[in-house]
Amino acid sequence: MPKDGGIGSPTLRREDIRFLTGNGKYTDDINIHGQAYAYFVRSDVAHGTINSIDASAAEGMPGVAKVFTAKDFEGVGGVPCGWQVTDRFGEAMQEPKHPVLAEGKVRHVGDPIAVVVADTLEQARDAAEALDIDITELEPVLNMKDALKDGATKVHDDLTSNLCYDWGFVEENREAVDEAIKGAHHVTTLELTNNRLVANPMEPRVAVGDYDSSNDEHTLYTTSQNPHVIRLLMGAFVLGIPEHKLRVVAPDVGGGFGAKIYHYAEEAFCTFAAKALKRPVKWTSSRSEAFMSDAHGRDHVTKIELAMDKDGKFLALRTDTHANMGAYLSTFAPSIPTWLHGTLMAGNYTTPLIYVNVKAVFTNTVPVDAYRGAGRPEATFQLERVVDKAAREMGIDPVELRRRNFITEFPYATPVAVEYDTGDYHATMDKLLELSDHAGFDARAAESKKNGKLRGFGIAHYIEACGIAPSNLVGQLGARAGLYESATVRVNATGSISVMTGSHSHGQGHETSFAQVVSEMIGIDASQIDIVHGDTAKSPMGMGTYGSRSLAVGGSAMVRATEKIINKAKKIAAHLLEAAEGDIELKDGAFTVAGTDKSVAWGDVTLAAYVPHNYPLEDIEPGLEETAFYDPANFTYPSGAYGCEVEVDPETGKVTVLGFTAADDFGNIVNPMIVEGQVHGGLAQGIGQAMIENCAYDDQGQLLSGSYMDYAMPRADDLPMFTVDHSSVTPCTHNPLGVKGCGEAGAIGSPPALVNAVIDALQRGGHDVTHIDMPLSSDRVWAAMNS
């Protein structure tokens, strides 16, 4: 039993108090005296040439400070891309300029053209109506395959085509994979799409720019998952502001799910305009704007082929994917369909030969980037769907087929460049079958049949690579940044502790779980420990929160810094106790000389550090504050078995999710309550993708699902209660806490489990349906059953 408040205890979240009483401080709650309001005027066509912008009437309207257009940003850089992918011929990807405000052309509905800044938001909106913008519409580029045809209209005139890159992985395996597939006993082929999604954190994006002319200092308050990354990208690449003159603050952030990783034009705009106008400038996104300006997710079209021998042993896997980049390259966009997707294609299986081809394509749509899972859901979906289809074609039970191919020996080097350090896939599969009462399924299916319903059960087993990422490795792969994390542990004279982390919590509960770790290590009450995050002026350079990395990477940095603290504190304690440093033990917040009852309390040691009257000044410095940067040696590899039970109404095609079971291996767990919550949220997003969510454009590139009336967000009555388990534990071997990361798992494993369940139900009902593209709306299911 873990000790109360320590590692492993389901400690209640301290941050909840402020959120439950309306005292949270989100970016939109920040109002600076004298601030002006920015209203973005955005393109309502998907593709067009801007002939003229006449702002004269608007600039004369009441309260208007200025109307900004591209010409105000002539001396300013474009919004940068943080990852350069090299194609299979060794060439760098095509990388178009992404201006802060559209220059000459608009390239997607929502592309910002002009910004009106006024004393009030209403005045800015009113003046925007008086802007005269003349645009000649051009043919939009929408379908990825058409976009690559010779003579296709180009999204960017200065690029040679709409192809960002043609990536092959592992290129050397290409021919061997082709050969293996040609000679195989059986090949299962599946063509599918991974539907475009909108992340939709409940808090829309907000940016408040402030400028202090007395010391030439800029401050940006923004809804970000990684304020240091914004400072780096915006300061260095867009506005040319050195780090020491630019502070980025991301206070309470209302969810991110990937969409708040990226540096957006609105952030650069508010920072720039605050200096230009010499007053703070605030922009708050409406939900309508969010739909057409937050980076979207997924949007892959894939063909996958799995070759097997007569016993169902996987011999080779080949995939061919078109990945939509949208109109510009968002911060991490090129890495998602490549390094976060291709490297996962081995899944949990021993497939010896794998070749992944990805063509990334520019279209006149909102840029696409990471959304919860980012590349890994796309990999898992196609793999777990094709394995399920293969099981049917081979006449082997889907559980059995997976088990025959599971990796069982670790470390395991996959043919797609990653090395799994640890795992036990049979254990998670066993757990799933037990918790979902798989044995009782046939009886339940018979019961459904009596009621005229088709019941199905679907399984998916996933692997993810998270705890992103070893810097030297990602550097070789094209990342333009390192992916370490940082922490400063500041012990105050009275013994209380502030931990400044480069990670960022936007719902994950760092303030609670990180404090649990330090509390456990030092043995003082967690209430004495504060976790500080989200302010570049407070925390050392960090890379933020995404890729299920906070505890695995940020937590590890904190552990390393805390170890440094403990080592120094032991030196001080040894001095105070007149003992050898090697004999000092720290337990329950006191330093003891081993084998004696001589001890000194934590608070006495910390006081001595700051009031060093009796202190080994000749050996160590006063004070007790340490910083550590942690760069992981490898990714972490959480895995799990997910099972979904559905009922399909054959009259209407309506799918009801009756139950969902997730059996995960996250390694060691610091706060099981928070972990369960993370899995629940991931499941809801994965089930949402599989059942109802879909970002749709019409044939003119108009965004059709641009509000909560049109984009189906999962609501309480769309979802069942979940069964989640994390009792299968194979600790990560290379980080000090043995943790793996749990933030994305739910969204990775659930879509294939759900689709597999629906296909299972239809097959049991005698319908020869082998695939339906997500979302599995009633009309699609009904059409598949009746085609």
Partner 1 sequence: MTNVTMTVNGKSVSGNVEGRTLLSSFLRDDLRLTGTHVGCDTSQCGACVVHVDGLSVKACTMLAAEADGAEVKTIEGMANADGSLSVIQQAFQDHHGLQCGFCTPGMVMTAAALLKENPKPSETEVRDYLEGNICRCTGYHNIVKAIMAASGQDVSAIAAE
Partner 2 sequence: MELSDSRTIDAPREMVWQALLDKDVLKNAVPGCQEMSGSPEEGFEAVVVQKVGPVKATFKGAVTLEDMNEPESLTISGSGKGGAAGFAKGGAKVRLEDDNGQTVLHYDVEAKVGGKLAQLGSRIIDGFAKKMADQFFTNFQEALEGPAEQEPDAEVADGAETGEKKKGWFRRMVSS
Interacting residues with partner 1 (CB under 8 A)? 12-13, 15-26, 28-29, 31, 122, 200-204, 252-255, 257, 286-288, 506-509, 673-674, 676-677, 680-685, 707-709, 713-717, 719, 721-725, 746
Residue 129 interacting with partner 2 (CB under 8 A): yes
Toward partner 2, which CB reaches closer, 106 or 340? 106
Contacted entry of partner 1, partner 2, none for residue 653, CB cut-off 5 to 8 Å set by kind: none
Q: Which is nearer to partner 1, 95 or 294 (CB)?
A: 294
Burial of 779 (0-12, 13-18, 19+ CB in 10 A): exposed
Query: Can you tell me which of 101, 114, 117, 128 binds partner 2, judged by CB under 8 A?
Result: 128
Q: Is 778 in the site for partner 2 (CB under 8 A)?
A: no
> Which of partner 1, partner 2, none sits in contact with 392, Cβ below 5 to 8 A by type?
none
CB 140, min distance to partner 2, A: 11
SS3 432: helix
Considering beta carbons, is residue 287 or 313 the nearer one to partner 1?
287
Question: Which of residues 7, 64, 76, 109 is near partner 2 by CB under 8 A?
Answer: 109
Encode 613-652: b = buried (16+ Cβ within 10 Å), e = exposed. eebeeeeeeeebbbbbbbbbebbbbbbbbbbbbbbbbbee
> CB 286 → partner 1: shortest distance, Å?
5
Tell me which of 291, 332, 362, 591 binds partner 2, using CB under 8 A: 291
Residues 6+ away with beta carbon under 8 Å from 663: 428, 429, 431, 432, 435, 640, 641, 642, 724, 725, 726, 728
CA distances, 147 to each of 84, 152, 300, 303, 696 (Å)? 21, 6, 14, 18, 18
Q: Counting every residue, how long is the chain? A: 787
The answer to whether the CB of 130 falls within 8 A of the CB of 61 is: yes
Token readout for 470 is 């070893």
Q: Which is nearer to partner 1, 122 or 585 (CB)?
A: 122
- Ramachandran angles phi, psi of 236, nearest 5°: -80, -40
- The type of residue at 510 is H
Look at residue 508 and give the partner it binds from partner 2, partner 1, none, a contact being a CB closer than 5 to 8 Å depending on partner kind: partner 1
Peptide bond into 242 cis (omega under 30): no
Interaction residues for partner 2, span 587-606 (CB under 8 A): none
Considering only 704, 715, 727, 779, the residue that binds partner 2 (CB under 8 A) is: 704
| Residue 700 CB, nearest approach to partner 2 (Å) | 6
Which CA distances in Å does 602 have to 392, 512, 622?
A: 63, 21, 16
> Binding partner of residue 515 among partner 2, partner 1, none, CB under 5 to 8 Å per kind?
none
How far from 785 is each of 654, 758, 781, CA to CA, in Å? 11, 11, 6
Site for partner 2 in 322-341 (CB under 8 A): none
Taking the C-alpha atoms of residue 572 and residue 584, their distance in angstroms, rounded to an integer, is 10
Question: Which CB atom, from 124 or from 624, has the smaller least distance to partner 2?
Answer: 124
Torsion of CA 679, 685, 686, 687, to 10 degrees: 100
Count residues binding partner 2 (CB under 8 A): 18
> In degrees, to the nearest 5, what angle opens at C-alpha 738 toward C-alphas 259 and 486?
55
Taking the C-alpha atoms of residue 435 and residue 48, their distance in angstroms, rounded to an integer, is 55
From partner 2, partner 1, none, which one binds at residue 535 (CB under 5 to 8 Å depending on kind)?
none
- Quick one: what does residue 26 bind among partner 1, partner 2, none, with the CB cut-off 5 to 8 Å set by partner type? partner 1
One-letter amino acid identity for 155? V
Residue with smaller CB distance to partner 1, 19 or 610: 19
At its nearest, how many Å lie between partner 2 and the CB of residue 704?
4
* Residue 292 binds to partner 2 (criterion: CB under 8 A): yes
CB of 207 to partner 1, least distance (A): 16
Contact present, 133 and 113 (Cβ < 8 Å): yes
Q: Which is nearer to partner 1, 112 or 746 (CB)?
A: 746
The partner residues of 163 in beta bridges, in order of sequence, read: 361
The smaller minimum CB distance to partner 2, of residues 400 and 710, is found at 710
Among 702, 763, 770, 777, binds partner 2 (CB under 8 A): 702
45 near partner 2, judged by CB under 8 A: yes
Of 463, 703, 732, 781, the one binding partner 2 (CB under 8 A) is 703
What lies within 8 Å, CB to CB, of 443 at 6+ separation is none
Q: Does 64 bind partner 2 (CB under 8 A)?
A: no
59 binds partner 2 (CB under 8 A): no
In whole angstroms, the minimum distance from the beta carbon of 663 to partner 1 comes to 11
**Tokens describing residue 130:** 């008086």
Name the nearest CA neighbour of 338 among 204, 170, 133, 461.
170
Q: Is 700 in the site for partner 2 (CB under 8 A)?
A: yes
Among 15, 24, 44, 478, binds partner 2 (CB under 8 A): 44
| Site for partner 2, rule CB under 8 A | 44-45, 109, 125, 128-129, 288, 291-292, 698, 700, 702-704, 706-707, 709-710
